[in-house]
Chains A and B, each alone.
Chain A
Amino acid sequence: MGAELKNYQLEQHYFRVRLGVAAIIVFALFTALAFRFSYLQLKQYEHYQTLAENNRISLVPIIPNRGLILDKNGVVLAHNFFAYTLEITPAKVSDLEQTIAEIAKLVEISSLDRKRFKRFREQSHSFESIPIRTHLNELEAAKFAVNHYRFPGVEIKSRLFRHYPLGKTASHMIGYIGRINDKDLENLEKSGDLSNYKGSDHIGKSGLEQYYESYLHGTTGFQQVEIDADGHAVRVFSSNPPIPGDNIVLSADIKMQEIAETAFGDRRGALVAINPKTGEVLSYVSQPTFDPNLFVDGIDSENWKMLNESLDKPLINRPLRGVYPPGSTFKPFVALAGLEAGKRLPPYSIQDPGFFTLPGNRHRYRDWKPSGHGTVDMQKAITVSCDTFFYGLAQELGIENLTNFVRHFGFGKRSEFDIKGEIEGLLPTPEWKKRRFKQPWYPGETVIVGIGQGYTLVTPLQLAQATAILANNGVAMRPHLVNEIQNARSGQSQIVPHKILDRVQLNPNNVEIVKRGMVDVTMPGGTAASVGANAGYSIAAKTGTAQVIGIKQNEKYNESAINERHRDHALFIAYAPADDPTIALAVIVENGGHGGSAAGPIARKVMDYYLLGKLPAEETSNNTKMATAVENAPEEALHD
Chain B
Amino acid sequence: MISKLFRHLFKHIDGFLMACLFFAMFVSLFVLYSASGQSIDRISSQIVNIMVALGVLWIAANISPQKLERISLLLYVVGVMLLIAVAMFGTISHGARRWLNLGFMQIQPSELMRIAMPLMLAWYFATREGKPGALSFIIAGLLLALPVGLIMKQPDLGTSLLIASSGFYVLFLAGLSWRFLIGAAVSLMALMPVFWSMLHDYQRRRIEILFDPTQDPLGAGYHTIQAIIAIGSGGATGKGWLNGTQTQLDFLPERTTDFIFAVFSEEFGFLGNMLLLGLFSIIIMRGLMIASQAQSTFTRLLAGAITLNFFSYAFVNMGMVSGILPVVGVPLPLISYGGTSMVTLCLGFGILMSIHTHKNLVAN
Mark A residues whose CB is within 8 Å of B.
7, 11-12, 14-16, 18-19, 22-23, 26-27, 29-30, 32-34, 36-38, 40-42, 44-45, 47-49, 51-55, 57, 59, 61, 194-196, 198, 220, 222, 224
Among A15, A19, A55, point to the contact of B245 (Cβ < 8 A): A55
> Are B175 and A18 in contact, CB atoms less than 8 angstroms apart?
yes
> Are A33 and B231 in contact, CB atoms less than 8 angstroms apart?
no
* B270, CB-defined interface residue at 8 Å: yes
| Known contacts A33-B315, A36-B324, A47-B232, then 20 further A-B pairs from the complex at CB < 8 Å, ordered by chain A residue | A19-B173, A19-B288, A19-B304, A22-B172, A22-B173, A23-B288, A27-B281, A30-B280, A33-B318, A40-B232, A40-B322, A41-B270, A42-B235, A45-B235, A48-B231, A52-B245, A52-B246, A55-B245, A195-B218, A224-B217
C-alpha gap A602/B282 in the complex (Å): 89
- Which residues on B sit within 8 Å (CB–CB) of A23? 284-285, 288
C-alpha gap A220/B269 in the complex (Å): 36
Given A36-B324, A37-B273, A220-B218, verify A53-B233 contact (CB < 8 Å).
Answer: yes
The secondary structure that dominates the A interface is helix
Given A33-B277, A55-B249, A61-B218, verify A45-B232 contact (CB < 8 Å).
Answer: yes
- Which residues on B sit within 8 Å (CB–CB) of A12? 300
Given A55-B249, A59-B217, verify A41-B288 contact (CB < 8 Å).
Answer: no
* B103, CB-defined interface residue at 8 Å: no
* B308, CB-defined interface residue at 8 Å: yes
Mark B residues whose CB is within 8 Å of A.
130-131, 169, 172-173, 175, 216-220, 228-236, 245-246, 249, 251, 265-266, 269-270, 273-274, 277, 280-281, 284-285, 288, 291-292, 297, 300, 304, 308, 311, 315, 318-319, 322-324
> Are A48 and B228 in contact, CB atoms less than 8 angstroms apart?
yes
**B341–chain A nearest beta-carbon distance, Å:** 20
- Which residues on B sit within 8 Å (CB–CB) of A55? 245, 249, 251
**A558–chain B nearest beta-carbon distance, Å:** 62
**B255–chain A nearest beta-carbon distance, Å:** 14
**B33–chain A nearest beta-carbon distance, Å:** 21
C-alpha gap A14/B175 in the complex (Å): 8
The secondary structure that dominates the B interface is helix
C-alpha gap A12/B291 in the complex (Å): 10
- Which residues on A sit within 8 Å (CB–CB) of B230? 52
Among A26, A48, A198, point to the contact of B233 (Cβ < 8 A): A48
- Which residues on B sit within 8 Å (CB–CB) of A41? 231-232, 234-236, 265, 269-270, 273
Given A45-B236, A52-B229, A52-B246, verify A195-B270 contact (CB < 8 Å).
Answer: no
Q: Which residue of A lies closest to B220 (CB)?
A: A195
- Which residues on B sit within 8 Å (CB–CB) of A45? 232-233, 235-236
Interface hub of A15, A52, A53 (most chain B Cβ within 10 A) = A52
Q: Which residue of B lies closest to A43 (CB)?
A: B232
C-alpha gap A212/B131 in the complex (Å): 67
> Are A37 and B322 in contact, CB atoms less than 8 angstroms apart?
yes
> Are A7 and B292 in contact, CB atoms less than 8 angstroms apart?
no
Lowest 5 A-B CB distances belong to which pairs?
A: A48-B232, A195-B219, A52-B233, A41-B270, A40-B232
> Are A22 and B308 in contact, CB atoms less than 8 angstroms apart?
yes
- Which residues on B sit within 8 Å (CB–CB) of A59? 217-218
> Are B231 and A15 in contact, CB atoms less than 8 angstroms apart?
no
**B346–chain A nearest beta-carbon distance, Å:** 21
> Are A40 and B231 in contact, CB atoms less than 8 angstroms apart?
yes
Interface hub of A32, A42, A48 (most chain B Cβ within 10 A) = A48
Sample of 23 A–B contacts (CB below 8 Å): A7-B130, A14-B175, A19-B291, A19-B304, A22-B169, A22-B288, A23-B284, A23-B285, A23-B288, A34-B274, A37-B231, A37-B273, A40-B231, A42-B235, A45-B232, A45-B235, A48-B231, A48-B232, A48-B233, A49-B232, A55-B249, A222-B218, A224-B217
> Are B228 and A26 in contact, CB atoms less than 8 angstroms apart?
no
Q: Which residue of B lies closest to A14 (CB)?
A: B175
Interface hub of B131, B218, B269, B323 (most chain A Cβ within 10 A) = B218
C-alpha gap A36/B236 in the complex (Å): 13
